Structure 1
Amino acid sequence: MKSLHLLSILLISMIIIPTNTHGGKKKEALGSQSQHSRTKKDQQSLETKFQLYTDTTGEACQILFNQLETLDKCSFNASLPLVMIVHGWSVDGILESWIWKMAAALKSQHKQINVIIADWLTFAHQHYPIAVQNTRYIGQEIADFVEWLEKSIQFSRSNVHLIGYSLGAHVSGFAGSYISGTNKIGRITGLDPAGPLFEGMSPTDRLSPDDANFVDAIHTFTKQHMGLSVGIKQPVAHFDFYPNGGTFQPGCHFMHVYNHIAQYGITGITQTVKCAHERSVHLFIDSLLHEDKQSTAYWCNDINTFDKGLCLSCRKNRCNTLGYNIREERLPKSRKLFLKTRARMPFKVYHYQFKIHFINEIQGKKIDPSFSMSLTGTKEDAKNLPITLIEGINGNKTYSFLITLDTDIGELLMIKFKWEGTAVWKNIWDKFQTIIPWTKGTRRPGLIVKTIRVKAGETQQKMTFCSQSTDNIHLYPAQEKTFVRCEDRLRQHKRK
């Protein structure tokens, strides 16, 4: 508990107190939307630097507001869509390396686009509350820039896609809301939109579905400490993705926080926080670099329901692709989608729901056994997958759970299901048998497992597996049973 309290204090200190502000120009913070009435269309420059990225040099060329010659100089192509990357709050006043990685990924996979980096470091490298208020200011500047492109070279705002990280997600939202006229910009993607001072706010004071024709968001660090979370937890888009539940990410361990503090001082906390917060960025980059391994997410109420495998349906648009290649669809209400990922790129995993009907023959005795499962597919095998049921086995009941695989095993052909019984388990089971009599001849009481039903999320295929040995459907500690596909067998039985 003490470590959690310390971590909470460190998180809050990083959010509220800047590590240093030297080199940052202090600006008066802007207030609410009603107070925000500035116009800059007649001015010759903006504080935000709009840098057009080129894949030929790997560098950027600055486009200056109201200076048409810089569009030609930088080779801006008005016939191609525009993707604009908007960074978040800055601790050190330097553009982070992920920005260039994302720009390079966009250009390498989709050469027929303009990629612009919106550099607002002057306003982002401030005390966090000041930077929050400055998001409106920068949002207005981006809106002015898009309107200038529209007016000067007839560039359609519907061809604009803003990708904003952390505070940059809300900057993008303000840009979309401040742009004049009834037509909206094409798309906004929020990458773990910032939580502090935005959580619980009205749609006009944060990123919302109303800010573009289509809005998607990826939430990767919503774990709360003392009422605060780095990323916003509430839905803010048409489709809100919550990888691994959205609270935290695999491979990002708080156990490393003390080592980071010892090495980097108080700023060492950023090494830990950054992992889960920035995972949203790398999930998006992953969708660009691995088009053959797109991650699918599924509509669900919460992560606990998802972990039971109850939400792997794609009917009526209940699933969607995470990242750049998402299916764009405006919805009347935000839709929360969940998925599991690996700890590293490529992040895609394959989701399976398993439904097993157990009958515990020792009536009145609830047991909590551990199982393992080995799967045989047409492409690969997956061996010794641990299975732990959330609740113990008691009586006659069907249990549902989620299994994820890092590799594509192809079509599932066979399941080996093992009760991971030890010598201790055997002794306990033998004691049950001596204390509780049974009347079915000489057979020991055990668990009856008749069928295993499987649904593959990625293919939507449903399969039924029956015990290979039809004469013995009982399972005992340390025993393994083989289950094979039995749809045909079941159909034949129904016909009879």
Structure 2
Amino acid sequence: MTPWSSGNTCTVILPSLCIYKEALRSRSEHTRGKKDQQNFKTRFRLYTDRAGGSCQIFVNQLETLDKCHFNASLPLVMIVHGWSVDGILESWIWKMAAALKSHHDPMNVIIADWLALAHQHYPIAVRNTRTTGHEIAQFLQWLEESVQFSRSNAHLIGYSLGAHVSGFAGSFINGTKKIGRITGLDPAGPLFEGMSPTDRLSPDDANFVDAIHTFTKQHMGLSVGIKQPVAHFDFYPNGGTFQPGCHILHVYNHIAQLGIAGITQTVKCAHERSVHLFIDSLLHKDKQSTAYWCNDINTFNKGLCLSCKKNRCNTLGYNIREESLPKSRRLFLKTRAHMPFKVYHYQFKIHIINEIQGKPIDPAFTMSLTGTKADAKNLVESITGNKTYSFLITLDNDIGDIIMIKFKWELPPLWGNIWDTFQTIIPWTKGTHRPGLIVKEIRVKAGETQQKIMCCTTESFDYFWCSSFPCLFIALKLDHRV
């Protein structure tokens, strides 16, 4: 394919001859362009705010760029959908396009409509991802050669199979320069999991690649979304296996709202959550979700990975800090079940001593926090005695700096009855040392602000006062009556 070249402009030496040659070439290119476009199965729709929603750009037809008001000086964001069951563009595509256009940075938003190849049996659609990727690469090359649009200003956002389509586009494009950025939204797992980097989305496909994994829960050895890292930064919200609000029990709510289509909605809920997390990052600029580098979700749940030193944390979604890394980095975070998805992460370290020997005790406690902006009450955790216990607490709202913590022990009924019987036989007198649970110290780290604080008990033993300064040690003695 020989695209138009903007370098073939007329000179002032023989203007009439130039005009004649341009007219002939224009007619030839226009005819050949229509023929070439017939071979393209992918439709490139420039999103507009006007009625109709989009304007189709045809490869090798420059007049369609003018007609659709494509601005080569602006960045290009291309949305690439995934496998299609019903052969229509899903509603999330238009929501994402609108969210991108509403962003404060002006941009061209194009929808790569490859429904003709995606509305097939899944194995055939998988095979067609390479064809579509090649067509997107050709489209970007045409823009580069005809209107000097730089591929480094292109950002491909691919969902499910569309993530791998985007990867193939990045690997098929000619030349040494790469596409600027590719975002994979829960890249498809079946027939891609375990494949070599050349056969799926990989960090080599663009200057920067990020991916959000939301449905990697395996069934019979397969998962809807790919589990392995495929990017420079791979995000695993809530561990990546499943998402809050997507449990099968919610199928009844979805059926009530959407009818029989609610069943499909429930099945794809966790898979499509990646899309809505990305849209959320565009719509709620003041509530950007932070994720943290960690080995696995179990370690993260202990609150042991809330460090931002040496770029160990990053922002999920559109506003990510772009940084090419020699090795993929896994990042974890918690989210809510609905927009805005952001939560605030806190690590609590509590050193507990169990003075009650020979008694089976596995108590829980409720914890209430007082912050400079708001309060958080009745946060429940369970513990085992005699250790430094580290756990993660997430809050839906920003409570500011924590200034006070209150504990209340919730002992199991059986243990409580044993304690009451023991007291009846040997009543405690004033000043007698009473065995119980002792909280030696509490340390808190806020993930979002990176603030570390020490919490010290009051003389009443009911509260901890918190500050960034060390405090004089006073042990908090807790028994079942606190």
Range into which the TM-score falls when normalised by the shorter chain: 0.7 to 0.9
Counterpart pick for 1:410 among 400, 412, 431: 400
Counterpart pick for 1:468 among 458, 478, 481: 458
TM score, norm. by length of structure 2? 0.86
- Is residue 382 of structure 2 the alignment partner of residue 388 of structure 1? yes
Counterpart pick for 1:79 among 66, 69, 73: 73
| CA–CA separation in structure 1 for the residues paired with 2:104 and 2:61 | 27
Counterpart pick for 2:323 among 320, 324, 329: 329
| CA–CA separation in structure 2 for the residues paired with 1:420 and 1:65 | 68
Contact in 2 for aligned 1:433/1:444 (Cα 8 Å):
no
Contact in 1 for aligned 2:360/2:415 (Cα 8 Å):
no
| CA–CA separation in structure 2 for the residues paired with 1:309 and 1:259 | 33
| CA–CA separation in structure 2 for the residues paired with 1:411 and 1:137 | 53
Q: Secondary structure at the match of 2:376?
A: strand
Matching residue of 2:132: 138
Q: What amino acid is aligned across from residue 112 of structure 1 in structure 2?
A: P
Matching residue of 1:420: 410
Structure 1 residue 417: Cα displacement:
1.1
Counterpart pick for 1:444 among 434, 450, 454: 434
Q: Secondary structure at the match of 1:414?
A: strand
Matching residue of 1:484: 465
> What percent of counterpart residues are identical?
80
| CA–CA separation in structure 2 for the residues paired with 1:269 and 1:177 | 37
Q: How does 1:118-137 map to 2 (within 5 A)?
A: 118-137=112-131
- Is residue 178 of structure 2 the alignment partner of residue 184 of structure 1? yes
Structure 1 residue 385: Cα displacement:
1.0
Contact in 2 for aligned 1:162/1:187 (Cα 8 Å):
yes
Change (3 A) 1:41 1:54: closer
Change (3 A) 1:488 1:96: closer
Q: How does 1:42-57 map to 2 (within 5 A)?
A: 43-45=36-38, 46-57=40-51
Contact in 2 for aligned 1:296/1:321 (Cα 8 Å):
yes
- Is residue 285 of structure 2 the alignment partner of residue 291 of structure 1? yes
| CA–CA separation in structure 2 for the residues paired with 1:231 and 1:378 | 41
| CA–CA separation in structure 2 for the residues paired with 1:51 and 1:269 | 30
Matching residue of 1:14: none
- Is residue 83 of structure 2 the alignment partner of residue 98 of structure 1? no
Q: What amino acid is aligned across from residue 454 of structure 1 in structure 2?
A: V
Structure 1 residue 273: Cα displacement:
1.8
Over residues 228-266 of structure 1, what are the superposed CA-to-partner deviations in whole Å (9 max), with x where a residue is unaligned? 11110110000000000001111111124589799977x
| CA–CA separation in structure 2 for the residues paired with 1:212 and 1:229 | 25
Stretches of structure 2 lacking an aligned partner (at least 5 in a row): 1-32, 475-482
- Is residue 209 of structure 2 the alignment partner of residue 215 of structure 1? yes
Q: Secondary structure at the match of 2:456?
A: strand
Q: How does 1:52-451 map to 2 (within 5 A)?
A: 52-57=46-51, 59-110=53-104, 112-257=106-251, 269-389=263-383, 392-393=384-385, 395=386, 397-421=387-411, 424-431=414-421, 442-451=432-441
| CA–CA separation in structure 2 for the residues paired with 1:134 and 1:487 | 57
| CA–CA separation in structure 2 for the residues paired with 1:492 and 1:248 | 43
| CA–CA separation in structure 2 for the residues paired with 1:298 and 1:487 | 22
Matching residue of 2:449: 459
TM score, norm. by length of structure 1? 0.84
Contact in 2 for aligned 1:143/1:178 (Cα 8 Å):
yes
Structure 1 residue 487: Cα displacement:
5.1
Q: Secondary structure at the match of 1:72?
A: helix
Contact in 1 for aligned 2:454/2:470 (Cα 8 Å):
no
Structure 1 residue 278: Cα displacement:
0.5
Change (3 A) 1:437 1:401: farther
Contact in 1 for aligned 2:34/2:61 (Cα 8 Å):
no
Structure 1 residue 431: Cα displacement:
4.9
Structure 1 residue 336: Cα displacement:
0.3
Structure 1 residue 329: Cα displacement:
0.2
Q: What amino acid is aligned across from residue 312 of structure 1 in structure 2?
A: L
| CA–CA separation in structure 1 for the residues paired with 2:134 and 2:140 | 10
| CA–CA separation in structure 2 for the residues paired with 1:325 and 1:145 | 26
Over residues 192-231 of structure 1, what are the superposed CA-to-partner deviations in whole Å (9 max), with x where a residue is unaligned? 0001111111111100000000000000011111111111
| CA–CA separation in structure 2 for the residues paired with 1:109 and 1:488 | 41
Change (3 A) 1:492 1:68: same
Structure 1 residue 313: Cα displacement:
0.2
Change (3 A) 1:330 1:433: farther
Q: Secondary structure at the match of 2:102?
A: helix
| CA–CA separation in structure 2 for the residues paired with 1:312 and 1:431 | 44
Contact in 2 for aligned 1:41/1:144 (Cα 8 Å):
no
| CA–CA separation in structure 1 for the residues paired with 2:417 and 2:458 | 28
Contact in 2 for aligned 1:298/1:314 (Cα 8 Å):
yes
Q: Secondary structure at the match of 1:347?
A: coil
Q: Secondary structure at the match of 1:286?
A: helix
Structure 1 residue 268: Cα displacement:
6.1
Contact in 2 for aligned 1:294/1:348 (Cα 8 Å):
yes
Contact in 2 for aligned 1:438/1:445 (Cα 8 Å):
no
Structure 1 residue 365: Cα displacement:
3.9
Contact in 2 for aligned 1:358/1:449 (Cα 8 Å):
yes
Q: Secondary structure at the match of 1:466?
A: strand
Structure 1 residue 292: Cα displacement:
0.3
Change (3 A) 1:398 1:435: farther
Contact in 2 for aligned 1:353/1:456 (Cα 8 Å):
yes
Q: What amino acid is aligned across from residue 166 of structure 1 in structure 2?
A: S
Change (3 A) 1:488 1:94: closer
Q: What amino acid is aligned across from residue 399 of structure 1 in structure 2?
A: Y
Q: What amino acid is aligned across from residue 418 of structure 1 in structure 2?
A: K
